[in-house]
Structure 1
Amino acid sequence: MSDEETGVFSFRASRFIDTSFKVHGETAEQSTRTGDRGILISDDGEQRAETLRNITYKKRRLRLRPSKLNDSLAQWIPVPEDKTGELNEELRATLNGISATDEGRKRKLYVTSDHPMHEFQGVQQDFLNELLRLCGLGDSIDDPECALCHLKLNPKATAPVDEHAAQEDGTVSAPPAETPVDRRIFRCSDCGEFLQCKQCCLGRHAWTPLHLLKLWKDGCWEDDTLKNIGLIYQLGHQGAPCLTPNPTIRLMVVLDTTGIHQIHYRQCGCDRSDQMNPRQELLRNAWFPASAIDPDTCATLRVLEAFRLYNVIGNLNCHDFVTAQERKTSALGSTGVVKMPDRYREMLRMARQHSFLTIAKRNALAHAPGVWRQLSRGRWWRDVEAKYRYLYRTILALDANFKLKNRIRTHEREDPPLAPGWGAWVDPMRYKEHLKQYIAENDASTCIAFAALTQKDTRHTDGLRVSGVGAAVCARHECVRPNGLGDLQKGERYANMDFIAMSAVAGFDGMELTFSYDIACQWGKNLRERVKKLPEDLRLDFEAILFQTGLPVWHASSHEAECTNMNSLSFLPGVGKTDGEGIERLWAELNAFAYHTKQMGLGHRADSLEDKINYHNFMKNLGLGDILRRKLLVAIAEREKQVAAWKEVNKSIPTEVRAAWQERVDAFLADRTAPNPYLISAKDGLSEADIRAALKADKVEAASKGTTPLHGTSATAFLTAGLQLEDTQRRIKAEIAGTTLVTANRESEIQESRLAFLSKLRVFRGLQEVYTPAAIRAVERLERNRNPDAAAVKAENIKLFLPSDLTEAEMEAKLREAQCGDAVGGTVGGQHGATRANSLVGQISDRIAALSLKYNHARAALLRLKGPNYAPFFKPLKESDLTLDADVNDDEASGKKRLSLAAAGKGGRTPRHVAGTSRKVLSWIWAARGALDPDESDLHESLRVEWARAKARKTRWDEEVNLLREEMRRVLRYLEWETQTWRAHTTASRDAGDLPIATRAGLEAYAIKQAAVHERLRAFFYAKLNVSLDAAAASVLDDEGALNPLFEGTHKCNQN
């Protein structure tokens, strides 16, 4: 029924909003439906209806969990743990470097594999004889014949005269149509060690002209060539005959893996030659010409690829490679005895061009000319909740290297790079234009005096046009970023590093970005202002992203304490256990390459380093399956340990105290200018003068204790006196064993303490006659057994024979328990303050040593008195329990050791064990009874800092587990993207109508191959990562015991 028929009127009412949720697949989005509301009223006014017209839909993002993203891998959990989320005992033992299954079982010894050289020594003469046997005719010495046609050969035969003569114009005429039968003996090691006649040798090598030939002459084998015996290779037909060959016979020098060859060849003259020029004719024969016009030197593609691998893997330079090829051709090659064509410059040029083309081919430049591929982050990741965004954060490391220098060369020709700004290097022209605007930077450091800052304009660069390079790499996986490498002209100037850093993130579409830099505390200060001077497309929009800078964990220890605790990656949320030191491992790899790039032209140097970096990135990506799995095993084990330690310690802290401390941490994370919870407040800390006064007071108290008269005969007084004497002995021992210098004055104090001890010991012996007569009998028995000629026992070594040495005593047990509490509290307080005065630190260390000795002695006596189950909160006090962050000033060394070793994979050198804090758990002494004394404000502040740092460690390890699992998903996503991209190129290659059909077929075949390779890699990685935690640990452990070094640090800690 129409509006006109019913007399209904329509009007635009207030905005009507209908909200509905749609969930399709794994994609969740919220849709808001808006439009004009129409009200329909019947003629009798009894009925009313509403409709929504002119409907529009407005989408509004939902904040989702990562598992709800529109991705097939979003809900997949790589290397999952069991349902309890805890490690079983066997796996925990494995991850701690202890294998229960291997205990008591020895591996069987195999002489052949364990001692192969011993076995060889017994048969070395046999090997030598057989090698020399190959120098003769072998079994054919009596009756040599051709293995192919069975022609009888003559060891003394000579070549027929005038086989073919050289012409005056340099060309070579064809040999005569009929020649006498040649019965000389030939052998080709590339074909096999069998004998051949000349005719069979020529026929067999018509398609393989690059074999090395040997001729039997004068009773031995001599080097010969196929050219010398008349082989003429036919180009255009891969050696097959041409119906109308070009009559001119030309000479070509070809470099191959078998050596350097001089080849006679003819060009094609049939219809096929109309479709190709001489350059194409050589390339279609897999020979790379040294010049584009009329080449006379070529290199096979296989020798170019071989050199490229030797170069990027073994850092072999081109000169040494060509020399080796000359020696392979002839033992006397490159010595002047045998004339050898010098093709070093040609090989250098061909290798450089071939490497560039290889990179272009692998980046699909032939399939999409002029377009370098870029991988976007995909869809939906922006919709995740804020607390999960760190999973998609970009974390980069920035640093400079001054080993990769380049010298100024006189009379240098223009040498442009083949791919300027296309790969790892920044755009050289824009970079130079930017540096022309450079003005000396006078920024004063507010931290320590960094060499990077003090030498940025004064670094010694005589004779150098490049003093080093700056780079931005992925801090998680150590891959060099696109446009993340640039030359330095002086020192580590901000103008250079800013351009490199911003080029590496040009077009950044993420929401969170972190830069790790060893001078980040200074570099980041005015970065926003300096970036405004960069080209517009390099200006990062700091307002649209969460941007933060941090210090690499190892370098952070060299900064001021306040700077370290403010900027270390250990305390930055969302970075996991990223150490920021991966770029140093890149430098270690590139430094070996610096020697032969030092003298190169700038363009050649840029191309060589580009090739090296491409290989570096490729191998890093290829190893991610094993590396991520190993790292995850380390992270899960450490997370469990940190969480368990955190829960235990957290229970001992009152709820209201924890809440106050947590508020301080939250405030700092929200605003970095708030008080730093990871640093002891200056007003609460003790100054050097305060510590000296406290130590002096301790000495006065010790002296007073040594002269305090014993009074009364109560049992309590008796036991107290015994414990005081025991304490005096410990103090004397600690004083003697101290690390500080023992001066004459201190020696006098020690002697006075001994005299005071001996005088009071006589009184104590009298009391023992009353309370513990057995002690006197033990003293007398010990004295009777002592050697009368031996020196008297020193005071600190005299056995007191306290009741715990004789029988159980309740009163001493109570005193011992109090002693334990006092001693452990003293060690906590002793850990608190740190000073830069070495002598003072030595005295504090002596004090801690004495207190720990006192505690362990008292605990041992307490266990004898009350049994092993008494006072379980008093645990054995180890040296590791006394080590604190402020003492070692090494925030990540030990924990990152295992992650670094995991990244190195098999064969990596095991770093020396260094105690650090990333794997450090909060010492039990903080949770011991009486540790949190409200009257001990200094102790309270120390505990707060340790609590905050322990929570940061726990949080970072938890982030690390989540980051690693997301990275595993990302690996598979990337490989899937690569597969789909190459499949799309496969289809596009068929439709490239402007290319010859054979070229289109080659493009299609290459795309199919690349798609298959990446699909195979994806399946390979998925199989590695889609296993249980137990299976992953067992697999890594079986991999040549590679897991043992990863968990060596944990094993050592457990043994302490």
Structure 2
Amino acid sequence: MFLQEMLRLEGRGGYSGGCALCSKTGSESMFACNNCFGGEQLCRACILASHARHPLHIIKKWNGTYYESTTLKDIGLRVQLGHSPSSTCCNPERAFNDSFTIIDTTGIQAVSLDFCNCEEALSHSQQLLCVSWFPATSTRPQTAATFRVLRQFHIISLESKISAYEYYNSLARLIDNTGLVDIKNRYEAFLRMSREWRHLKMLKRAGRGHVPDGITLTSEGECAVLCPACPHPGINIPSNPNATDKRWLYALFVAINANFRLKRKKVSKDSVDPSLSQGWAYFVDETVYKRTCQSHLAVNMADTKSHQGLSATGVGTVDCARHNMKLPGGVGDLQKGEKYVNMDYLFCSAMWYNLVNDVNVSYDIACQWSKHLSERLKTRLDMLPSSLSEKKLTFFVPKFHLPAHIDKCQTTFSFNFIPGVGRTDGEAPERGWANINPVASSTKEMGPGARRDILDDHFGHSNWKKVTSLRLALLSKLKVAISKQAEFLNALEDLEEGIKSSKSEELTKWRNQVKEWENDRTKPNPYERQGNPLTMAAVQLELAREEAEDLMRNNSTALHDVCSASVLISAGLELEDQQRRLRCEKAGLGVHHTDHQESQLILQSNTLQRCIDSWVKLQHLFLPSLASQRAKSPGDDDSIIPPDAYKLMLPSEICRSIPCDERLQRVEWKLRYSQGLDALQTIRSNLRAQSCILKFKDRNLRGQGANTRARNTLKVIQARIDAAANRYDDAHKALYRLAPLLKENGVWSSVLRPLNRQDIRAMSDLLWGETEGTRKLSWIWCAGGAADGEDEAILEDMRIEWCKARARAQRWSEEVELLLEEMRRTLVFLQWDAARWEERGKSITSADKVIAAGHHAYAHRQANIRYSLAERCHLSWSPTMELAKKMDHEWRDVLMDEIKDLAGDKMQVENGLDEHVIRD
């Protein structure tokens, strides 16, 4: 049906009569418009009259058989500029232009123009601009593009990264897709107009049209879109934030990065293709930048293979690390890769536009780049005015890049461990490259000025999109941060409870140590291992000793002559453990086992059978009813039941079916409880050994032989972990059955929880989807006894993990405060920006009242946009902000002693509380 309707429109579509307006007949003179609604057929006179105000519509003519393409110009339409469409010029002989080309969203077509040439007539360019047609040149224009097509291409290119060549050819194809019509090539003119359009839109949005001589007096970075959530002294934070109690809340987060996809070939040069702006937005002023940087680069060295034919190998950028916005003056070309001199200049340039004294700097090579930075700036960039010497700089390595660094860097430069940074990850530039990289295919062929202008426009568009999306972005982050804050504070409390039970003095010592390191980084780092790492030889020795003990236990088959209840149950648990070992040995017996292996297994089975027989006789003394119960069971011939499958019928197994002495139940309860704790300790010690072996193997072992031996050792460790997990499961099930009979409260279940497979993991292991800042320790490391004993290695592991758990809780608490502060800053900034636009609208003094009215209208429209953004943000954020402020302040009290020294400030606890916190 759809196809039939599309074909119907190829004909006259039911309009077999005359003109739809004047009823004039004559099919050979009927016309229809592709752009008007309804597709009605009109005669020549009516189509010209109805399109006097729509001169760029595409029309078609019915030739008696089908519709053929034609133009309004061909059937006589003339466009009058400077007058109404119905009026004429008083000096028409000098106004006619019959070969004017217009580029519009409907296509590329020729029109007949009548310019006004009266005495008070405007220039031809101005007459075109008055009807929203952008002239290709300011003198005797022959081509123009409509504002509509320039705006459409502008938005489409920013969103889809389509090139001007592709877009222009698509417009040409709209007119003719057969190649039978010759269309004038105005591609170069379109390139020029679209570039000028971008530049003028940037100046317009920056308010330069509202300032006398605004364009010529534009300063560097003035046309950049600023981040409302970042601190701007005197605008949304105090002019002197150093005097405030929570100085860390007003720090600026920046991220430095380089993109080697945005390269440029050696085509054209600055003298031929200069930028329309000189560092007015994001790119630095190339004149000073190149003179400073190239004087310190070996620019005359032979080109490397990757640099051949390139004028710029990429771009370096400085971004807002928390909101992913390019900073003014923070972008520049790289001549020979990511050299220090380039990144030093860009960093100083970006910092010149922001007066914040505390700056957190994220850079993937910050550990090396930060060394001797001040000395380099003094010797290399003495031409660049900078107040960096007065700033407090803290350096970080982005979280995704951090694992590639050495262990020392992974703690010293980590966002996870240094106070005052919340949940910042420093990877903001990497997210932006995915959006800008598609434009590289076209910008690499451009001249230097055009490329910088285009990239500036893309960066500005990206910044504005971030501004408009802050409402949802910050709200989403705050909701997550509130829940995570509670979650990780509770996790920290659970861990501390497990440590306090036996090592409360150690916990106090660790707390003092981590505070000292946060205030002074020269102190010993509590996140680093201080002792010697466990070696493979030490682990193998420990395993050999355990194997010797196991052999001794397996060969001991005699029971006590004088048997008490505790001895009976203890022996039963030992037999249960031997059954598990025997089942494991059988499972590991391969299909092609040897006779020796099978004989050894039979001997173990026989030994176990004799032990069980002896133990059952003693058990029947304590529980005579068991003898009759076993006799009544279907499989009363015990010899046919393998010893590893024989049911021992301990009190926990028969408590619901056979009367049992409570003393026996109580004895088993105590033994099972200790068995569960012992199994957890075995799991923890073997997990620690497993982690050490894996690290040792990855860093030190090479070759098949060494790796095979290491894998065999890991198999032994894993077998011990599995055996201990099975022993724990049996103990937990027995306790679960005995608890109601012995009226045990639920305290035991908080210590010995159900053990899932994902709970059996090392301290440093992550579950799928977890990161260092979101992971939680498995409960087995928080259970009672985890920090027991005097093993220094285990205590050191517990110290490191406690420090990390504390850091996670602090970072999420900081994140809540940072987000609340960023929301406040955003609202204040938008209100300030709106007021600034209102002042611009009031300050217009142009003698031309028409132009002044336009200035006034635009300024108030921009002010209203910002007021509306602020209002929507306030309405969206208010409920969640109030919730965050009314959270249980006991959590804040727990960590107030910890947080009071954030960012190195020595503040009093009571001064560290905001007024709204004290009030709540």
In the aligned structure 2, how far is the partner of 1:780 from the partner of 1:528?
A: 90
Q: For 2:672, which of 816, 822, 840 is the aligned residue?
A: 816
DSSP 3-state at the match of 1:686: coil
Deviation, structure 1 residue 135:
2.1
Q: For 1:303, which of 149, 171, 174 is the aligned residue?
A: 149
Cα distance change on mapping 1:604 and 1:780 into 2, 3 Å: farther
Deviation, structure 1 residue 842:
5.7
Cα distance change on mapping 1:220 and 1:965 into 2, 3 Å: same
Partner of 2:507 in structure 1?
A: 658
In the aligned structure 2, how far is the partner of 1:281 from the partner of 1:787?
A: 111
Partner of 2:112 in structure 1?
A: 264
| Contact kept? 1:431, 1:499, Cα under 8 Å | yes
In the aligned structure 1, how far is the partner of 2:774 from the partner of 2:681?
A: 24
Deviation, structure 1 residue 733:
7.1
Deviation, structure 1 residue 380:
3.0
Partner of 1:424 in structure 2?
A: 282
In the aligned structure 1, how far is the partner of 2:723 from the partner of 2:312?
A: 57
In the aligned structure 2, how far is the partner of 1:151 from the partner of 1:625?
A: 57
Cα distance change on mapping 1:218 and 1:985 into 2, 3 Å: same
Q: For 1:152, which of 8, 24, 27 is the aligned residue?
A: 24
Question: 2:247 matched to 1:389?
Answer: yes
In the aligned structure 1, how far is the partner of 2:727 from the partner of 2:881?
A: 44
Query: 1:758-795 deviations in whole A, cap 9, x for unaligned?
Result: 5224322331233057489669957589999xxx97x8
Alignment of 1:833-852 (within 5 A): 834=692, 835-837=695-697, 839=711, 844-852=717-725
In the aligned structure 2, how far is the partner of 1:601 from the partner of 1:785?
A: 95
DSSP 3-state at the match of 2:352: coil
In the aligned structure 2, how far is the partner of 1:554 from the partner of 1:682?
A: 28
Question: Relative to structure 2, which stretch is displaced further, 504-513 or 365-374?
Answer: 365-374
Q: For 1:918, which of 754, 767, 773 is the aligned residue?
A: 773
Moved beyond 6 Å, runs of 4+:
410-413, 456-459, 732-738, 741-751, 784-788, 795-798, 1029-1032
In the aligned structure 1, how far is the partner of 2:679 from the partner of 2:37?
A: 82
5+ residue gaps, structure 2: 227-231, 699-710, 885-920
Query: 1:10-29 deviations in whole A, cap 9, x for unaligned?
Result: xxxxxxxxxxxxxxxxxxxx
| Contact kept? 1:706, 1:757, Cα under 8 Å | no
Alignment of 1:252-331 (within 5 A): 252-273=100-121, 276-331=122-177
Partner of 1:1024 in structure 2?
A: 876
Cα distance change on mapping 1:882 and 1:463 into 2, 3 Å: farther
Cα distance change on mapping 1:737 and 1:424 into 2, 3 Å: farther
Deviation, structure 1 residue 970:
1.2
- Indicate the structure with greater helix content: 2
Partner of 2:545 in structure 1?
A: 697
Cα distance change on mapping 1:822 and 1:562 into 2, 3 Å: farther
Query: 1:613-668 deviations in whole A, cap 9, x for unaligned?
Result: 11111111110101111110000000011112222332342543332111101111
DSSP 3-state at the match of 1:345: helix
Cα distance change on mapping 1:129 and 1:680 into 2, 3 Å: same
Deviation, structure 1 residue 511:
2.3
Q: For 2:530, which of 674, 681, 690 is the aligned residue?
A: 681
In the aligned structure 2, how far is the partner of 1:567 from the partner of 1:986?
A: 48
In the aligned structure 2, how far is the partner of 1:400 from the partner of 1:779?
A: 81
Partner of 1:671 in structure 2?
A: 520
In the aligned structure 1, how far is the partner of 2:71 from the partner of 2:445?
A: 36
Question: 2:255 matched to 1:380?
Answer: no
| Contact kept? 2:325, 2:463, Cα under 8 Å | yes
DSSP 3-state at the match of 2:61: strand
Deviation, structure 1 residue 936:
2.9
Partner of 2:265 in structure 1?
A: 407
Q: For 1:500, which of 346, 354, 358 is the aligned residue?
A: 346
Query: 1:246-296 deviations in whole A, cap 9, x for unaligned?
Result: 3233311111111112101111012331xx222222122211112222221
In the aligned structure 2, how far is the partner of 1:294 from the partner of 1:750?
A: 103
Question: Relative to structure 2, which stretch is displaced further, 289-298 or 956-965?
Answer: 289-298
Report the TM-score, using the length of structure 2 for normalisation.
0.83
Alignment of 1:326-475 (within 5 A): 326-332=172-178, 336-368=179-211, 369=214, 370-371=217-218, 372=222, 376-378=232-234, 380=238, 382=240, 388-409=246-267, 414-438=272-296, 460-475=306-321
Partner of 2:394 in structure 1?
A: 548
DSSP 3-state at the match of 1:396: strand
Partner of 1:447 in structure 2?
A: none
Partner of 2:752 in structure 1?
A: 874
In the aligned structure 2, how far is the partner of 1:1016 from the partner of 1:768?
A: 83
In the aligned structure 1, how far is the partner of 2:645 from the partner of 2:147?
A: 81
Deviation, structure 1 residue 500:
1.9
In the aligned structure 2, how far is the partner of 1:581 from the partner of 1:209?
A: 51
Partner of 1:976 in structure 2?
A: 831
Alignment of 1:491-570 (within 5 A): 491-536=337-382, 538=384, 541=387, 543-570=389-416
DSSP 3-state at the match of 1:473: strand
In the aligned structure 2, how far is the partner of 1:536 from the partner of 1:429?
A: 15
Deviation, structure 1 residue 823:
1.9
Deviation, structure 1 residue 495:
1.9
Identity of aligned residues (%): 33
Query: 1:214-265 deviations in whole A, cap 9, x for unaligned?
Result: 1111322222100100111112236342341432333111111111121011
In the aligned structure 1, how far is the partner of 2:393 from the partner of 2:535?
A: 36
| Contact kept? 1:233, 1:239, Cα under 8 Å | yes
Q: Look up the equivalent residue of 1:599 and give its one-letter code.
A: E
Q: For 2:9, which of 123, 134, 159 is the aligned residue?
A: 134
Q: Look up the equivalent residue of 1:816 and give its one-letter code.
A: R
5+ residue gaps, structure 1: 1-124, 158-182, 442-455, 889-893, 895-912, 1033-1056
Question: Relative to structure 2, which stretch is displaced further, 927-936 or 722-731?
Answer: 722-731
Partner of 1:101 in structure 2?
A: none
Deviation, structure 1 residue 831:
4.5
Question: 2:747 matched to 1:887?
Answer: no
In the aligned structure 1, how far is the partner of 2:384 from the partner of 2:477?
A: 34
DSSP 3-state at the match of 1:1005: helix
Q: Look up the equivalent residue of 1:129 and give its one-letter code.
A: Q
Question: Relative to structure 2, which stretch is displaced further, 193-202 or 711-720?
Answer: 711-720
Question: 2:570 matched to 1:720?
Answer: yes
In the aligned structure 1, how far is the partner of 2:609 from the partner of 2:514?
A: 53
Q: Look up the equivalent residue of 2:111 and give its one-letter code.
A: I
Question: Relative to structure 2, which stretch is displaced further, 511-520 or 803-812?
Answer: 803-812
Partner of 2:859 in structure 1?
A: 1007
Cα distance change on mapping 1:704 and 1:748 into 2, 3 Å: farther
Alignment of 1:611-650 (within 5 A): 611-650=457-496
In the aligned structure 1, how far is the partner of 2:173 from the partner of 2:105?
A: 12
| Contact kept? 2:81, 2:116, Cα under 8 Å | yes
Alignment of 1:226-237 (within 5 A): 226-237=72-83
Question: Relative to structure 2, which stretch is displaced further, 719-728 or 505-514?
Answer: 719-728
In the aligned structure 2, how far is the partner of 1:440 from the partner of 1:645?
A: 55
Query: 1:530-553 deviations in whole A, cap 9, x for unaligned?
Result: 222343474655553321111212
DSSP 3-state at the match of 2:240: helix
Query: 1:527-582 deviations in whole A, cap 9, x for unaligned?
Result: 22222234347465555332111121222122222321221111121110011122
Deviation, structure 1 residue 402:
2.0
| Contact kept? 1:399, 1:472, Cα under 8 Å | yes
Deviation, structure 1 residue 961:
0.4
Deviation, structure 1 residue 476:
0.7
Q: Look up the equivalent residue of 2:261 and give its one-letter code.
A: K
Partner of 2:902 in structure 1?
A: none
In the aligned structure 2, how far is the partner of 1:779 from the partner of 1:558?
A: 67
Cα distance change on mapping 1:526 and 1:710 into 2, 3 Å: farther
Cα distance change on mapping 1:356 and 1:755 into 2, 3 Å: farther
In the aligned structure 2, how far is the partner of 1:528 from the partner of 1:972?
A: 36
DSSP 3-state at the match of 1:532: helix
Alignment of 1:469-484 (within 5 A): 469-484=315-330
Deviation, structure 1 residue 420:
2.9
Cα distance change on mapping 1:977 and 1:960 into 2, 3 Å: same
